[in-house]
Chains A and B, each alone.
Chain A
Amino acid sequence: MLSVENLVVRYGPIEAVKGISFEVREGEIVSLLGPNGAGKTSTLAALMGLTTPQSGEVRLSGETIYGQGTARIVQRGMTLSPEGRRVFPRLSVEKNLLLGGMIRKDWRNPAVLERMYKRFPILAERRNQLAGTLSGGEQQMLAIARALMASPKMLLLDEPSLGIAPKIVAENFELIEQLRDEGMTILLVEQNVFQSLSISDRAYVLENGRIAASGNSMDMLNSELVRHSYLGVSDPMEAA
């Protein structure tokens, strides 16, 4: 579905992403893990055309989207729920959702909204509230729902567990799994390593702008080496 080859992202003299390659196959959840500043968010910004990459190749369903404008990439069927939610705080929940589906021809179609409200009953309850008044967890749901409104075939999620109560985090991860089971392809960027590995199919670990490890999520969860070197925890039970 999504394939990335030798992607380089540079901000002035700083090379944030130093030529990474990875792929997300149709119907998979792939985790992109790593510490702060590893280049995860820069990678997503480059994939979405928010920053212009230095070099590389990005393909969505076999067609290149490298260097294209964000609006074009969204049209092609890839959306992002950005880090820190970034809902439009002074617009209602409903307007936030409508904006998510803005590229649709039938963007005003109430059936599309109703489907989303069915999946997120709490958003239906709060539909006329300003998005800025929602709790962090609710805003995260809204951000994901907003990204789903365009009916993407590829969904990028940047740190959906950041700064959110553990109970809601668990709910959100369940939702992500459920989306995959419905056929959505998902790239999940997270610092929450164990939960991400436990719901994803495969994972890549990003460190200093390079891919330091990759593989089957289950194998990585069980690999001493990965746990020691890249995840910074010796034993999940011990850590808990």
Chain B
Amino acid sequence: MELTIQYIVNALSLGGVYALVALGLAIVFSIFGFINFAHGELLTLFGYVLFYALSAGLPFGFAVILGLACAMACAVLMERVAFRPLRGANPVTLLVTSLAISGALQVMFQIGFGTRPKPLVMPGFLSGAFNVGSIYIGSAQAISIIVVALLAIGLNMFLNRTRFGLALLASAQDFDVAKLMGIRVNAIYATAFAISGLLAGVAALLWISMRGSVEPTMGFNPLVKAFVATIVGGMGSLTGAVVGGFFLGAFEVVLQILLPPDYQIFRDAIVLATLIAFLLFRPRGLIPAAAMPTK
């Protein structure tokens, strides 16, 4: 029983990080119809900003806020510099563009900060652990579960109850007609990217507190997992992204339990095989998006 709860906690906290990254991908996908492969680099950027801000002696809270601000600014900049000029282009063009940005940023990180992982010591409340009865819960795990729940609920309310949320839905469906409603579509797009940057930053904080270091390619793994999560959950559906994220987290924990130690290296292969199975047999995912772009 305790072991089961332990596994559930693990699944929830791992799934939560995937869900956050997947949410960021899904917001952009729901409008533009492409997966932003440079999203992982937003996580990395947050990591480096946090690392250098802490090295410079800034207080932790301030360093986190600075990191979030940088991730958001970088996301907005991506849209402005790379994606906006391609507006109306085939989503595949945008996808390839995002791969190029991802590669370019990784190289910039390598040149600027070196290829070796930089150890990041998190403050006690993130790196510690506590016991509930005989269940061992990492603080990062607990915080991750709470933060993901709050962010998912908050985002859902933001999108469903506010003018911005409605404007976003409209802009996703018909660019010109959204303008005819008096919506400043450019501002909506920038805000959508800013939100994806914010989600990436929070995900990065949780991801880093689980792994303890920052390196140029650290964004790749969560990005691939989140990509799988968005497809499993249902492309472009925000609920689907969250469901897919938790599904994937649980799936990985189950594999960890079931697979004999010698076969653990096949975990990612099995996860990716699941992706292929979904693409073949249920391409619209577990929870298909109502507002999926048709182009």
Residues of A within 8 A of B (CB): 48-50, 69-71, 74-75, 79-80, 82, 86, 88-91, 95, 98-100, 102-103, 107, 146-147, 150
A74: chain B residues at CB < 8 Å are: 180-182
**7 nearest A-B residue pairs (beta carbon):** A74-B182, A103-B182, A70-B179, A99-B181, A86-B177, A71-B184, A88-B173
CB atoms of A102 and B180 under 8 A apart: no
Query: Roughly how many angstroms separate A232 CA and B244 CA in the complex, as a whole number?
Result: 60
Q: A98-B166, A102-B167 are in contact. Are A91 and B181 (CB under 8 A)?
A: no
Q: Which residue of A lies closest to B185 (CB)?
A: A71
Q: Which of B163, B174, B176 contacts A102 (CB 8 A)?
A: B163
Inter-chain residue pair count (beta carbon < 8 A): 61
In the bound complex, do residue A90 and residue B173 qualify as a contact, i.e. CB atoms below 8 Å apart?
yes
Chain A residue nearest to B169 in the complex (CB) = A91
> Would you give the shortest CB distance from A100 to chain B, in whole angstroms?
6
Instruction: Determine the chain A residues whose CB is within 8 A of the CB of B178 once the complex forms.
Output: 99
Cross-interface CB contact of B177 among A71, A88, A95, cutoff 8 Å: A88
Q: How far is the CA of A87 from the CA of B216 in the complex (A)?
A: 45
The number of chain B residues with a CB under 8 A from chain A is 18
Known contacts: A86-B174, A88-B174. The answer to whether A102 contacts B181 by CB under 8 A is: yes
In the complex, residue of chain B having the shortest beta-carbon distance to the beta carbon of A98: B166
Task: Identify the closest chain B residue to A107 (Cβ).
Answer: B163
The answer to whether A102 and B173 have CB atoms under 8 Å apart is no
Residues from chain A with a CB closer than 8 A to the CB of B177 are 82, 86, 88
Which residues from chain B contact A75 at a C-beta distance below 8 Å? 182
Query: Does B291 reach chain A (CB closer than 8 Å)?
Result: yes
A-B contact pairs, 9 of them (CB 8 A): A71-B179, A71-B184, A74-B180, A75-B182, A88-B170, A88-B177, A99-B183, A102-B167, A150-B182
Complexed CA–CA distance, A85 and B42 (Å): 40
The secondary-structure label for the interface of chain B is helix
In the bound assembly, the distance between CA atoms of A112 and B47 in angstroms comes to 49
**Residues on the B chain within 8 Å of A102, using CB:** 163, 166-167, 181-183
B binding-site residues for A, Cβ under 8 Å:
163, 166-167, 169-170, 173-174, 176-184, 290-291
B166 close to A99 (CB less than 8 A): yes
A100:B176 contact, CB within 8 angstroms: no
Distance between Cα atoms of A9 and B170 in the complex (Å): 27
Contacts of A107 in B (CB 8 A): 163
Task: List residues of chain B with CB within 8 A of the CB of A98.
Answer: 166
> Hey, which chain B residues are within 8 Å of A103, CB to CB?
181-182
Identify the closest chain B residue to A146 (Cβ).
B181
- Whether the pair B180, A82 counts as a contact (CB closer than 8 A) is yes
Q: With a CB–CB cut-off of 8 A, which chain A residues contact B291?
A: 90-91
Q: How far, in whole Å, are A186 and B60 apart by their CA atoms in the complex? A: 60
Chain A residue numbers with a CB within 8 Å of B180 are: 48, 50, 70, 74, 79-80, 82, 147
A99 with B170: in contact, given A69-B184, A71-B184, A90-B290 (CB under 8 Å)?
yes
Known contacts A90-B290, A90-B291; A100 and B181 CB within 8 A of each other: yes
CA distance A103 to B173 in the complex (A): 19
The answer to whether A71 and B174 touch across the interface, beta carbons within 8 angstroms, is no
> B167 contacts which chain A residues (CB < 8 A)?
99, 102
- Give bound CA distance, A104 to B37, whole Å: 38
Interface centre among A70, A95, A103 (most CB of B within 10 A): A70
- Bound-state CA distance A80–B180 (Å) is 7
